[in-house]
Amino acid sequence: MSLHPIAAFDRIGEENAFAVLARATELAAQGRDIINLGIGQPDFSTPDHVVEAAIKALRDGHHGYTPAPGIAPLREGVAADVHRRTGASISPDQVLIVPGGKVTMYMAILMFGEPGVDILYPDPGFPIYRSMIEFTGANPVPIPIREENGFAFSADETLSLITPRTRLIIINSPANPTGGVSPKAEIDKLAAGLERYPDIAILSDEIYGQMTYDGREHVSLLSYPALRERLILLDGWSKTYAMTGWRLGFSLWPKPLLEAARKLAVNSYSCVNAPTQWAGLAALTGPQACVSEMVAEFAKRRRLIIDGLNKLPGVSAIEPYGAFYAFPNIKATGWQAKPLARALLEEAGVATIGGPDFGIHGEGYLRLSYANSQDNITQALTRMGEFLSARKVA
């Protein structure tokens, strides 16, 4: 007998970044010197006061289940933090504490995806959007994210893709993998256009919302009251407080959807582990200098990597105004993106991700995470330069 999950599992995808990480680790274990610009997580430690809060919670006996939506002080803390950052008034009742930002997209796509409906998502974009849309049987409709548009959403193009079958639109700014930040004027236009479609739900993935550079402002979709009744906001602690391994995120839901999300929590993970929730509260209510210091360091690395990439043969990189990714155009090297990423890892010892791992519109680009030291970034750029000079494609 051969065991087989239902057919939907033939359509589920994954994140190639984890496969690249595994290969990079394998090569390093063989003694190779690998610089990892593939992985999308801060290379900082979680701030001490946050770690201490988790230890204290364990010592204080927070060992049991918590309410499925999260402990009350944390839900209140999230509402206060969102108000501080965006000015939007949120009821703690709308907040769901989840084990990582990813869980919010999982829930939202499960809620709206089924055969016969369209779900719009950014391409290139976080690969799990498309994977989960396909899993549900819904039709994935890519919203092209274009270099000539500064890797911002085009309001006109996004709105032009809406059909009577559209149920959910996924927006992500600041964006993975491009670092693009959609400017206020474009988001204003998009929000105004979406007012014409009151039955379409919106998932706004703002997990990089506190990571912008050169004074570029992050505009939260929470700033548009007309969208609030159908807006699902995805955010969390992974990037802002260097907490990827803790698995902690939060989402804001319109009231009727929160009940559905809470039931999904009860039917799967029950609640986020208690000490992590207390750590999350310490992160929100404690000193915020850890965030600005990390962003200031990323800003220096961003300058280094963008200037360096633009000096490599056949490579050009526009300014990414958010997150911690560069998305250089490599078309003039003559290489296809995935073979180039593979060769850079195997031959030059630099891990990057090929743009097509983020969707069809990612061909011709590489994603480089600059969550690595300035020395390593400099060394990686040298290796890439040597490789590209030596391995010209006719």
* Selected range binding ligand PLP among 73-81, 236-244, 254-262, 337-345, rule: CB under 6 A: 236-244
253 binds ligand PLP (CB under 6 A): no
* Sequence-distant (≥ 6) Cβ neighbours of residue 253 within 8 angstroms: 94, 96, 232, 261
* Selected range binding ligand PLP among 99-107, 278-286, 328-336, 350-358, rule: CB under 6 A: 99-107
Query: Nearer to ligand PLP by C-beta: 175 or 315?
Result: 175
205 binds ligand PLP (CB under 6 A): yes
Classified as helix, coil or strand, 347 is helix
126 binds ligand PLP (CB under 6 A): yes
102 binds ligand PLP (CB under 6 A): yes
Query: Nearer to ligand PLP by C-beta: 203 or 384?
Result: 203
Give how many residues touch ligand PLP by CB under 6 A. Answer: 13
Run of H or E residues at 366: strand 366-369
Query: Nearer to ligand PLP by C-beta: 100 or 308?
Result: 100
Report which of 13, 211, 236, 207 is spatially closest to residue 129, judged by C-alpha positions. Answer: 13
Classified as helix, coil or strand, 205 is strand
Q: Residue 101 Cβ, how far from ligand PLP at the closest point, in Å?
A: 3
Q: Residue 41 Cβ, how far from ligand PLP at the closest point, in Å?
A: 7
Report which of 374, 362, 389, 354 is spatially closest to residue 307, judged by C-alpha positions. Answer: 374
Query: Nearer to ligand PLP by C-beta: 236 or 308?
Result: 236
Where are the alpha helices (H) located in 119-244, listed in sequence order? 127-136, 155-160, 184-194
Per-residue interface string for the shown chain with ligand PLP, residues 175-204, x marking contact by CB under 6 A: -x----------------------------
40 binds ligand PLP (CB under 6 A): yes
For the segment 350-389, give every residue that binds ligand PLP (CB under 6 A). none
Query: Nearer to ligand PLP by C-beta: 242 or 315?
Result: 242
Query: Nearer to ligand PLP by C-beta: 129 or 335?
Result: 129
Tell which one of 86, 220, 238, 277 touches ligand PLP (CB under 6 A): 238
Report which of 260, 306, 226, 251 is spatially closest to residue 101, judged by C-alpha positions. Answer: 251
Proportion of the chain in helix, strand, coil states, percent, rounded to 5: 45, 15, 40
Report which of 380, 346, 384, 323 is spatially closest to residue 40, judged by C-alpha positions. Answer: 323
Q: Are 107 and 263 in contact (CB under 8 A)?
A: no
Q: Which long-range contacts (CB under 8 A, 24 or more apart) does 251-256 make?
A: 251/95, 251/96, 251/98, 251/103, 251/104, 251/107, 251/108, 252/82, 252/90, 252/94, 252/95, 252/96, 252/222, 253/94, 253/96, 254/94, 254/228, 254/229, 254/230, 255/93, 255/94
228 binds ligand PLP (CB under 6 A): no
251 binds ligand PLP (CB under 6 A): no
172 binds ligand PLP (CB under 6 A): yes
* Selected range binding ligand PLP among 55-63, 100-108, 221-229, 293-301, rule: CB under 6 A: 100-108
CA dihedral (197, 198, 203, 206) positive or negative: positive
43 binds ligand PLP (CB under 6 A): no
Tell which one of 24, 155, 190, 207 touches ligand PLP (CB under 6 A): 207
Distance from C-alpha of 128 to C-alpha of 114, rounded to nearest angstrom: 16
Q: Residue 364 Cβ, how far from ligand PLP at the closest point, in Å?
A: 21
Compute CA 218 distance to the chain's CA centroid, rounded to the nearest angstrom.
14
Angle, alpha carbons 345-181-312 (nearest 5°): 35
Q: Residue 244 Cβ, how far from ligand PLP at the closest point, in Å?
A: 5
42 binds ligand PLP (CB under 6 A): no
Report which of 190, 181, 128, 135 is spatially closest to residue 161, judged by C-alpha positions. Answer: 190
Q: Taking the CB of residue 113, how many other CB atoms lie within 10 A of it?
A: 21
Tell which one of 77, 100, 122, 364 touches ligand PLP (CB under 6 A): 100
325 binds ligand PLP (CB under 6 A): no
* Selected range binding ligand PLP among 98-106, 194-202, 224-232, 347-355, rule: CB under 6 A: 98-106
- Footprint of ligand PLP on this chain (CB under 6 A)? 40, 100-102, 126, 172, 176, 205, 207, 236, 238, 244, 249
